[in-house]
Amino acid sequence: MSTAAARAVRPLHFDLPPLPYAEDALAPVISAETLELHHGKHHKKYIDTMNQLLEKEHVQGTTLEDVVRSSKGKLFNNAAQAWNHDFYWKSLSPKSAAPSGALKQRLERDFGSYEKFVEKFATAAIGQFGSGWAWLIDKNGKLEVVATSNADTPMARGDRCLLTLDVWEHAYYVDYRNQREKYVQGVIEKRLNWEFAERNLNGR
């Protein structure tokens, strides 16, 4: 590519993806006020900052996943948070149903039972010190629960993410103040999107 052509290449740019449901659809577990602030302010800020950095930094690839996996420092933090949040919104559903089929069998095989998975997932989310995330992932053919700090994401290391739960304070403070455990319990019991998890498990 010539120097003139290189200058003509436009930097990558990403838009804030819309929520997959109305802002009030997750109430009363997560309020419309929380979604308005969390999606419209926090998530948007990560997108905006990432786009500003992409005007100056060249990365390999064209997708948000490419940016996460090929960046570091401030760009990684904002790109990973942009990806994490989009994945988080899809991990939630106004009408949560218990896992079924192959996913239920995998949960029972790898955790002993669905109830034991719930216990481990809640422990990871509640016990994460400071800001971060709890994840259900498929790692080398085995389902695992992991927690990550700040913007870190298992996706960056090539693990297949099935579900996530945001435990940064801005995810729950409006509704629950410092009672993270109540937020975690409510989401796990009433708002996890198991259909999304199954699609991820099947690679769709």
Sequence ranges of the domains in the chain: 101-201
Task: List residues bridging with 139 in a β-sheet.
Answer: 142
Q: Provide the pLDDT for residue 204.
A: 65
Which one, of 142, 139, 136, 144, lies nearest residue 159 by Cα? 139
The series of mean pLDDT values per 10 residues for the chain, 204 residues long, is 48 96 98 98 98 94 97 98 98 93 96 98 98 97 98 97 98 98 98 97 84
Burial class of 190 by CB neighbour count within 10 A (0 to 12, 13 to 18, 19+): middle
What fold characterizes domain 101-201? Answer: minor pseudopilin epsh fold (3.55.40)
Best CA proximity match to 86, nearest among 167, 3, 15, 190: 15
Looking at residue 10, what is its pLDDT?
78
Peptide bond into 28 cis (omega under 30): yes
pLDDT at 128: 98
Confidence (pTM): 0.94
CA atoms of 105 and 85, how far apart (whole Å):
28
First to last CA, the chain: 35
What residues pair up with 133 in beta bridges, in sequence order? 148, 166
Q: How far apart are CA 204 and CA 165, in angstroms?
A: 20
